[in-house]
């Protein structure tokens, strides 16, 4: 038996070993041989996207469902588009591996100019750019180095939960290299420094113990760093109120007796901010505090009350404990933390009754409230709801989730257009779930053509396209003519994408009756996606968006601080 395989085959074996069943691709002459090599691996389905931005977002969505993902693009014209989605994966802590074909090694250093490049003889720039948006960026220039460079990049991505970049020259993808050996350390979790972990747990336990009203807050990095179950164990040990940040919605069950809502400063869910902001100890697990999540810096939690558990360190008040990993820390703290349900009791006493909005008249013009009421009704424990940047964020945050319901939001990167390709990737990673997407008209115009790939693969996604005739979120932050969007006939687009062989369905709903009928058809349709265009008024937005938008606008408008 030969001791060698091709570099492309080596890569495919590693991708399979880390749990991938798909990889996303756009063809180009720098990656064709590589794509041929990957196709030889029958357990790894090659999935095509309309463009490289979509390809990287599809991989980002797949990583949300599957833990890891890979996408393959051509040099520069492809990779530079994919960088936007890759940077998004960095911001969102998702290990996406971007593989780019690259120039023939005979042309490197030979002062030759090549197509798809800058028209200079520099072929280092792409990897240099990739360094800023990955935790490891490698360029293979000789078959002998391929195994160690591929493993180095994949290992870094899995450990850091950040993207990695691998460049493979077009004349090396089919060249021979050593066979992949066993590699268990790809999966081994990092181990905390014992002394630092013990000190962090001690300091955190003391702060919680002396607190009269402790509260727990789940953050976005909890999932990527494997802390969800340890967080729940800690919550149940303390018995206190548990809030989640918006981009951690679904990381703690909303039906759990200790759940007190979504903490988003002044636009938190009812009763939640009062409890969080009056707490005297807040354990925030994997949080990301930025201008959006702090509502224009109006909701900053006081440092002296805060235990901030980061992926690789813990801050307690002013002290920092390094090399302490999130899940291990939560786990160890759960074993010693003292019970104190005060904030939960306080929340229960003050809890406002949240009523469901009433059913609108069947033929009355469709409103946002009626649309949300109907979408809420189809969200079950097996559903994942994806929400695009825009008022879909707030509509989604207001949905009640059952135990098991998934929720995906790209709140740190916040790229409009993320959700359509990310949903395509997500459904491939979670084929047995019901997938529901809420996306605005403006966002859809960036990447909407990726619906054709859902049609191609017969994926039964339900897409609610909220047509409010513009960029509502920007209207609330700062209005002008630039917030108007050219209208499209969105529902009819599906026929364009179907062409002669597709089975996507498109509907347009202007009232509750039409929406109800369209949803029934969508639920019954399993041979492809269903897009339901919901027509609502331009100014029919959530009250949360208005309040949040005003505060973010004020933060954006701060004059430069005087220096000196």
Asked whether 530 and 253 are in contact (CB, 8 A), the reply is no
Residue 251 or 490 with smaller CB distance to Mg ion: 490
Residue 468 or 530 with smaller CB distance to Mg ion: 468
CB of 242 to ligand DPX, least distance (A): 29
Stretches 313-321, 324-332, 397-405, 470-478: which one binds Mg ion (CB under 5 A)? 470-478
Stretches 55-63, 97-105, 434-442, 488-496: which one binds ligand DPX (CB under 6 A)? 434-442
395 to 414: interface string for Mg ion, x by CB under 5 A: --------------------
Stretches 185-193, 224-232, 361-369, 464-472: which one binds Mg ion (CB under 5 A)? 464-472
Using rule CB under 6 A, residue 549 touches ligand DPX: no
SS3 label, residue 284: strand
| C-alpha of 92 from chain center | 6
Using rule CB under 6 A, residue 474 touches ligand DPX: yes
Question: How many residues comprise the chain?
Answer: 564
CB of 295 to ligand DPX, least distance (A): 16
CA distances (Å), 69 to each of 8, 25, 149, 162, 513, in order?
A: 16, 12, 18, 11, 40
The b-or-e profile of 343-361 (16+ CB within 10 A means b, else e) is bbebbeeeeeeeeeeeebe
Residue 67 or 470 with smaller CB distance to ligand DPX: 470
Helices (H), 18-103: 32-39, 52-66, 79-91
Residue from 88, 117, 122, 113 nearest 100 by CA:
117
Q: Which residue is nearest to Mg ion (CB)?
A: 440
- Which does residue 414 touch among Mg ion, ligand DPX, none (CB within 5 to 8 A, set by kind)? ligand DPX
Q: How many residues of this chain bind Mg ion (CB under 5 A)?
A: 5
CB of 125 to ligand DPX, least distance (A): 23
CA distances (Å), 289 to each of 217, 245, 292, 493, in order?
A: 12, 9, 8, 39
Residue 96 or 472 with smaller CB distance to Mg ion: 472
Largest Cα separation within the chain, whole Å, is: 75
Selected binder of ligand DPX within 164, 218, 326, 472 (CB under 6 A): 472
Q: What is the dihedral of CA 188, 193, 198, 200, to 10 degrees?
A: -100
Selected binder of ligand DPX within 230, 399, 473, 493 (CB under 6 A): 473
CB of 548 to ligand DPX, least distance (A): 12
- Beta bridge pairs of residue 467: 535
CB of 221 to Mg ion, least distance (A): 30
Q: At what angle do helices 7-17 and 32-39 cross, to 10 degrees?
A: 50
Which backbone phi and psi does 127 adopt, to 5 degrees? -70, -40
Residue 102 or 447 with smaller CB distance to ligand DPX: 447
Stretches 258-266, 311-319, 342-350, 436-444: which one binds Mg ion (CB under 5 A)? 436-444
Selected binder of Mg ion within 383, 419, 468, 483 (CB under 5 A): 468
Residues near 272 by beta carbon (within 8 Å), at least 6 away in sequence: 243, 260, 261, 262, 263, 347
Query: Cα separation of 175 and 334, whole Å?
Result: 52
CB of 497 to ligand DPX, least distance (A): 19
Selected binder of Mg ion within 147, 396, 425, 442 (CB under 5 A): 442
Q: How many residues of this chain bind ligand DPX (CB under 6 A)?
A: 17
Site for ligand DPX in 359-418 (CB under 6 A): 389-392, 414-416
Q: What is the dihedral of CA 121, 123, 129, 135, to 10 degrees?
A: -160
Q: Which sign, positive or negative, has the C-alpha torsion 326, 328, 331, 335?
A: negative
Site for ligand DPX in 111-140 (CB under 6 A): none
Using rule CB under 5 A, residue 460 touches Mg ion: no
Residue 149 or 465 with smaller CB distance to ligand DPX: 465
Stretches 193-201, 371-379, 471-479, 523-531: which one binds Mg ion (CB under 5 A)? 471-479
Asked whether 191 and 325 are in contact (CB, 8 A), the reply is yes
Residue 170 or 472 with smaller CB distance to Mg ion: 472
| Residue-wise DSSP of 463-502 | EEEEE-SS-HHHHHHS-SGGG------HHHHHHHHHTTT-
CB of 458 to ligand DPX, least distance (A): 26
Cα angle, residue 417 at apex, residues 412 and 420 outer, rounded to 5°? 110
Residue 92 or 107 with smaller CB distance to ligand DPX: 92
Selected binder of Mg ion within 169, 265, 440, 528 (CB under 5 A): 440
Residue 117 or 467 with smaller CB distance to ligand DPX: 467
Question: In terms of DSSP bridges, do strands 406-409 and 383-387 run parallel, antiparallel, or are they unpaired?
Answer: parallel
Stretches 118-126, 283-291, 438-446, 510-518: which one binds ligand DPX (CB under 6 A)? 438-446
Residues contributing to the site for Mg ion (CB under 5 A) = 440-442, 468, 472
Residues contributing to the site for ligand DPX (CB under 6 A) = 389-392, 414-416, 440-443, 468, 470-474
């Amino acid at each position: 038996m030969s001791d060698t395989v091709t570099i492309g085959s080596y890569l495919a074996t590693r991708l399979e070993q880390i749990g991938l069943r798909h990889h996303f691709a756009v063809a180009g002459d720098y990656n064709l041989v590589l794509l041929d090599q990957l196709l030889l691996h029958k357990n790894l389905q090659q999935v095509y996207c309309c463009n490289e931005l979509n390809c990287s977002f599809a991989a980002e969505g797949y990583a949300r469902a599957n833990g890891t993902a890979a996408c393959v693009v051509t040099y520069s014209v492809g990779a530079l588009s994919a960088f936007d989605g890759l940077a998004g994966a960095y911001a969102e802590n998702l290990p996406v591996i971007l593989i780019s074909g690259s120039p023939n090694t005979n042309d490197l250093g030979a002062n030759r100019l090549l197509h798809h490049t800058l028209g200079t003889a520099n072929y280092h720039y792409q990897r240099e750019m990739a360094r800023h948006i990955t935790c490891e960026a490698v360029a293979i220039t000789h078959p002998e180095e391929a195994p160690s460079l591929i493993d180095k990049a994949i290992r870094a991505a899995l450990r850091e939960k950040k993207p990695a970049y691998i460049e493979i020259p077009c004349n090396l993808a089919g060249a021979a290299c050593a066979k992949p050996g066993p590699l268990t350390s790809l999966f081994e979790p990092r181990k905390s420094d014992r002394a630092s972990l013990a000190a962090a747990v001690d300091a955190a336990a003391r702060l919680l113990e002396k607190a009269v009203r402790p509260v727990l807050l789940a953050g976005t990095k909890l999932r990527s760093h494997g802390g969800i179950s340890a967080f729940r164990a800690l919550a149940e040990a303390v018995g206190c109120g548990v809030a989640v940040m918006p981009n951690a919605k679904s990381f703690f069950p909303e039906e759990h007796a200790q759940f007190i809502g979504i903490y988003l400063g002044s636009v938190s869910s009812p009763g939640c901010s009062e409890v969080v902001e009056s707490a005297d100890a807040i354990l925030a697990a994997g949080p990301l505090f930025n201008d959006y999540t702090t509502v224009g810096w109006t909701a900053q939690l006081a440092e002296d009350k805060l235990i901030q558990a980061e992926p690789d360190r813990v801050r307690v008040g002013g002290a920092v404990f390094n090399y302490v990993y999130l899940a291990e820390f939560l786990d160890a703290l759960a074993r010693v933390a003292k019970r104190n349900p005060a904030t939960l009791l306080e929340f229960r006493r003050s809890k406002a009754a949240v009523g469901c909005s009433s059913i609108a008249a069947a033929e009355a013009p469709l409103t946002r409230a009626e649309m949300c009421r109907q979408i809420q009704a189809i969200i079950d424990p097996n559903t994942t709801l994806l929400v695009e940047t825009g008022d879909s964020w707030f509509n989604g945050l207001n949905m009640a989730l059952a135990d098991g319901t998934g929720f995906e939001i790209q709140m740190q990167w916040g790229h409009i257009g993320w959700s359509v390709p990310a949903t395509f990737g997500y459904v491939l990673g979670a084929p047995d779930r019901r997938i529901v997407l809420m996306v605005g008209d403006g966002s859809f115009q960036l990447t909407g053509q990726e619906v054709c790939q859902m049609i191609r693969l017969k994926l039964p996604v339900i897409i609610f396209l909220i047509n409010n005739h513009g960029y509502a979120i920007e209207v609330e932050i700062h209005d002008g003519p630039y917030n108007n969007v050219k209208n499209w006939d969105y529902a009819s687009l599906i026929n364009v994408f179907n062409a002669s062989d597709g089975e996507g369905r498109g509907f347009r709903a202007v009232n509750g009756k039409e929406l109800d009928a369209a949803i029934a058809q969508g639920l019954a349709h399993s041979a492809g996606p269903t897009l339901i265009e919901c027509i609502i008024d331009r100014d029919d937005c959530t009250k949360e968006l208005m309040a949040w938008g005003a505060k973010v606008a004020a933060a954006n408008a701060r004059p430069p601080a005087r220096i000196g």
